[in-house]
């Protein structure tokens, strides 16, 4: 049959980002019929949508890519230490072309839901236009943050604003002319910290509405030396092994000592070296993420850098973070604190005087000030982890909605973040309770895609019709995830990791913090033991086929 007439697939994959592209490749290589559905008109996922000024990845380029193919790795050459959004998008297009993936991706197609039908042992996948297809396996590849789950705070009056407003994760492809404009940015997470210095250079005046001051460390981005790239390519095999065995998907040596055991002088030296090298610095001691006192040493170091950098003591004071460094997604920057020395930048503390209303002219805060704006940018993040899944009408056995099974996020239960009981033949790539955003995502994605691919081959070889996570296995895993996070400071802070950025979202931490390498070993062992914790059935009494 011509492809457009085929409506039943071995596997349907949601989304054509890093996850969907690799998953499709593996499915096809293994001889499964597969189709990826993608809302956008091109590949790239988050990197397709997040085109805001300054958008860049915080993982180093030479690790922020697929490692499964030596040929792909060697053929692509990154230009700088941290890849900017257009370059990542070019990379993913290069991969899609090279592997000839587009012929099995249907673009401009939004999936609204998927229902499992036990009697047929099929997933039926629904689209926005009301049509549907069926598949034996459903694989979600929307990632932990998605354009479908952007967070636009519910601030009174947005509909009255006469200027233009945008969200960083859903940026017009033709760009936005900021030249000479009065621009407001709400939010200073990873996106805000990246966009603020770039917007400041173009805008007539920039107003930064800050609720929680942010720790950020210099990225020290720079063009790559060709010799460095040459070596990276020569070390391909070693690199692939290292990143997959590492804690966070990058070959970084974690400090083994305690921050509290070093003398203040030596500690200062350690932090200063890390600061000069650039990038996140939470790894330099083993206890920075687990001990409040140890954590405070790095906080004080970064605060001293803010004092040094920002000229006006009053502005510097407003920029001083007090939470535990690293417990919100650690941010790296290019000229963030420096930007507040510019004459055309005003920092507004909206913790002190919260935003009360968006008016026709701009933003009004509780102290009665009104900031007149032409453009308002929401850098306010996402309903992460569960958000992309909950936006879909995802129903397992007996029509149970995933959102209900997980009690709106209060009771997330997965088997290693890969699968959930009651949802047979459904797999999640970087699902909740997997290591995912605790490191360098493409590596986490490869671990999952390779596991799912091996699993599907196993099922086919053994003539198994359904695979389903067991309730006790997901109970154990969820408990384990909880125990690991309880040894850290993460739950003590409000962040999108804990879900506390979304009004009404239950506080719950759904990232496995035990490390990429150990996790990968666990899921491989699980498979080697005949898919421990899963029920595999070669038939079902209810099945019509």
Burial 163-179 (b: 16+ CB within 10 A, else e): beeebbbebeeeebebe
- In degrees rounded to 5, what are phi and psi of residue 516? -60, -50
Give counts: helices (H), strands (E), the chain.
16, 20
54 forms part of the interface with ligand NA7 (CB under 6 A): no
CA angle 300, 305, 308 (to 5 degrees): 125
Three-state SS at 545: coil
Candidate list 217, 221, 501, 508; residue touching ligand NA7; CB under 6 A: 501
Candidate list 190, 246, 478, 510; residue touching ligand NA7; CB under 6 A: 190
Applying CB under 6 A, which part among 123-131, 187-195, 244-252, 514-522 lies near ligand NA7? 187-195
Interactions with ligand NA7, residue window 107-146 (CB under 6 A): 145
380 forms part of the interface with ligand NA7 (CB under 6 A): yes
Q: How far is the CB of 191 from ligand NA7 (least distance, A)?
A: 3
Applying CB under 6 A, which part among 78-86, 189-197, 248-256, 308-316 lies near ligand NA7? 189-197
Q: How far is the CB of 311 from ligand NA7 (least distance, A)?
A: 23
Question: Based on CB atoms, which residue is closest to ligand NA7, 350 or 536?
Answer: 350
CA-nearest of 380, 366, 399, 481 to 435 is: 481
Question: Based on CB atoms, which residue is closest to ligand NA7, 295 or 380?
Answer: 380
Candidate list 191, 246, 295, 508; residue touching ligand NA7; CB under 6 A: 191
Q: How far is the CB of 313 from ligand NA7 (least distance, A)?
A: 23
Q: How far is the CB of 543 from ligand NA7 (least distance, A)?
A: 41
Q: At what angle do helices 236-245 and 226-234 cross, to 10 degrees?
A: 80
CB 392 within 8 A of CB 114: yes
Taking the C-alpha atoms of residue 533 and residue 42, their distance in angstroms, rounded to an integer, is 37
Question: Based on CB atoms, which residue is closest to ligand NA7, 138 or 252?
Answer: 252
Candidate list 88, 186, 243, 375; residue touching ligand NA7; CB under 6 A: 186
437 forms part of the interface with ligand NA7 (CB under 6 A): yes
Q: At what angle do helices 516-528 and 441-461 cross, to 10 degrees?
A: 0
CA-nearest of 478, 470, 472, 500 to 412 is: 478
- β-partners of residue 207 are 184, 346
CB 365 within 8 A of CB 356: yes
Q: How far is the CB of 212 from ligand NA7 (least distance, A)?
A: 3
Q: How far is the CB of 39 from ligand NA7 (least distance, A)?
A: 18
Candidate list 15, 53, 381, 417; residue touching ligand NA7; CB under 6 A: 381
211 forms part of the interface with ligand NA7 (CB under 6 A): yes
Applying CB under 6 A, which part among 11-19, 205-213, 215-223, 447-455 lies near ligand NA7? 205-213
Interactions with ligand NA7, residue window 164-183 (CB under 6 A): 168
Taking the C-alpha atoms of residue 409 and residue 130, their distance in angstroms, rounded to an integer, is 27
Question: Based on CB atoms, which residue is closest to ligand NA7, 355 or 481?
Answer: 355
Q: How far is the CB of 323 from ligand NA7 (least distance, A)?
A: 8
Question: Based on CB atoms, which residue is closest to ligand NA7, 298 or 355?
Answer: 355
Candidate list 141, 187, 439, 533; residue touching ligand NA7; CB under 6 A: 187
User: DSSP for 355-368?
Assistant: EEEE-SSEEEETTS
Lay out the site mask for ligand NA7 across 340-379 (x = CB under 6 A, - = otherwise): ----------x----x-----------------------x
Q: How far is the CB of 104 from ligand NA7 (least distance, A)?
A: 28
CA distances from 148 to 39, 293, 379, 396 (A): 9, 39, 15, 21
Using CB under 6 A as the binding criterion, the count of chain residues that bind ligand NA7 stands at 23
Question: Based on CB atoms, which residue is closest to ligand NA7, 339 or 421?
Answer: 339
Q: How far is the CB of 144 from ligand NA7 (least distance, A)?
A: 7
Q: How far is the CB of 530 from ligand NA7 (least distance, A)?
A: 35
Candidate list 22, 390, 490, 496; residue touching ligand NA7; CB under 6 A: 496
CA-nearest of 472, 523, 59, 464 to 249 is: 59
Burial 431-444 (b: 16+ CB within 10 A, else e): bbbbbbbbbbbbbb
CA-nearest of 513, 442, 511, 497 to 249 is: 442
Sign of CA dihedral 286, 254, 219, 51: negative
Question: Based on CB atoms, which residue is closest to ligand NA7, 107 or 170?
Answer: 170
212 forms part of the interface with ligand NA7 (CB under 6 A): yes
Taking the C-alpha atoms of residue 445 and residue 418, their distance in angstroms, rounded to an integer, is 11
Q: How far is the CB of 249 from ligand NA7 (least distance, A)?
A: 13
Q: How far is the CB of 484 from ligand NA7 (least distance, A)?
A: 20
With residue 519 as reference, give the H or E element that holds it: helix 516-528
CA-nearest of 319, 332, 210, 282 to 489 is: 282
Beta strands in 292-383 (DSSP E): 331-333, 345-349, 355-358, 362-365, 370-372, 375-378
Binding site for ligand NA7 (CB under 6 A): 145, 153, 168, 186-192, 209, 211-212, 329, 350, 355, 379-382, 437, 496, 501
């Amino acid at each position: 049959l011509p492809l457009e007439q085929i409506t039943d697939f071995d596997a349907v994959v949601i989304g054509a980002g890093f996850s969907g592209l690799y998953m499709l490749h593996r499915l096809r290589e293994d001889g499964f019929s597969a189709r990826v559905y993608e809302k956008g008109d091109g590949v790239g996922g988050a990197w397709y949508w997040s085109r805001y000024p300054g958008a860049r990845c915080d993982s180093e380029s030479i690790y922020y890519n697929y490692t499964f193919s030596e040929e792909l790795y060697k053929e692509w050459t990154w230009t700088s230490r941290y890849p900017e959004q257009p370059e990542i998008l070019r990379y993913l297009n290069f991969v899609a072309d090279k592997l000839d993936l587009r012929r099995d991706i249907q673009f401009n197609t939004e999936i609204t839901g998927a229902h499992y039908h036990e009697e047929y042992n099929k997933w039926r996948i629904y689209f926005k236009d009301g049509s549907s297809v069926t598949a034996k396996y459903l694989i979600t590849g929307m990632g932990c943050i998605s354009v479908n789950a952007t967070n636009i705070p519910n601030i009174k009056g947005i509909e009255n604003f006469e200027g233009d407003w945008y969200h960083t994760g859903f940026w017009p492809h033709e760009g936005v002319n900021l030249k000479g404009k009065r621009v407001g940015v709400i939010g200073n997470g990873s996106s805000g910290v990246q966009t603020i210095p770039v917007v400041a250079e173009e805008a007539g005046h920039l107003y930064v509405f800050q609720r929680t001051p942010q720790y950020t460390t210099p990225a020290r981005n720079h063009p790559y030396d060709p010799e460095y790239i040459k070596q990276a390519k020569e070390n391909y095999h070693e690199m692939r092994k290292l990143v997959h065995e590492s804690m966070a998907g990058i070959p970084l040596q974690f400090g083994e000592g305690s921050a509290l055991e070093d003398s203040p002088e030596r500690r200062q030296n350690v932090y200063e070296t890390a600061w000069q090298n650039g990038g996140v610095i939470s790894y330099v001691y083993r206890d920075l993420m687990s001990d409040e006192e140890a954590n405070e040493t790095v906080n004080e170091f970064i605060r001293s850098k803010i004092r040094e950098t920002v000229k006006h003591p009053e502005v510097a004071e407003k920029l001083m973070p007090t939470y535990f460094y690293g417990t919100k997604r650690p941010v790296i920057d290019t000229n963030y604190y420096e930007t507040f020395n510019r004459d055309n930048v005003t920092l507004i503390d909206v913790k002190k005087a919260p935003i009360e209303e968006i008016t026709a002219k701009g933003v009004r805060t509780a102290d009665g000030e009104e900031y007149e704006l032409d453009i308002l940018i929401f850098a306010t993040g996402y309903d992460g982890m569960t958000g992309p899944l909950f936006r879909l009408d995802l129903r397992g056995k007996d029509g149970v909605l995933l959102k209900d099974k997980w009690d709106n996020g209060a009771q997330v239960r997965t088997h290693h973040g890969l699968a959930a009981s009651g949802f047979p033949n459904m797999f999640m790539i970087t699902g909740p309770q997997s290591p995912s955003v605790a490191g360098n995502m493409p590596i986490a994605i490869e671990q999952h895609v390779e596991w799912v691919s091996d699993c599907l081959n196993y099922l086919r070889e053994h003539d198994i019709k359904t695979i389903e996570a067991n309730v006790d296995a997901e109970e154990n895993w969820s408990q384990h995830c909880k125990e690991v996070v309880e040894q850290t400071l993460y739950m003590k802070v409000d962040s999108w990791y804990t879900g506390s950025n979304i009004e009404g979202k239950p506080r719950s931490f759904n990232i496995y913090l035990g490390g990429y390498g150990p996790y990968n070993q666990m899921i491989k062992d699980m498979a080697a033991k005949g898919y421990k914790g899963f029920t595999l059935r070669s038939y079902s009494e209810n099945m019509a086929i």
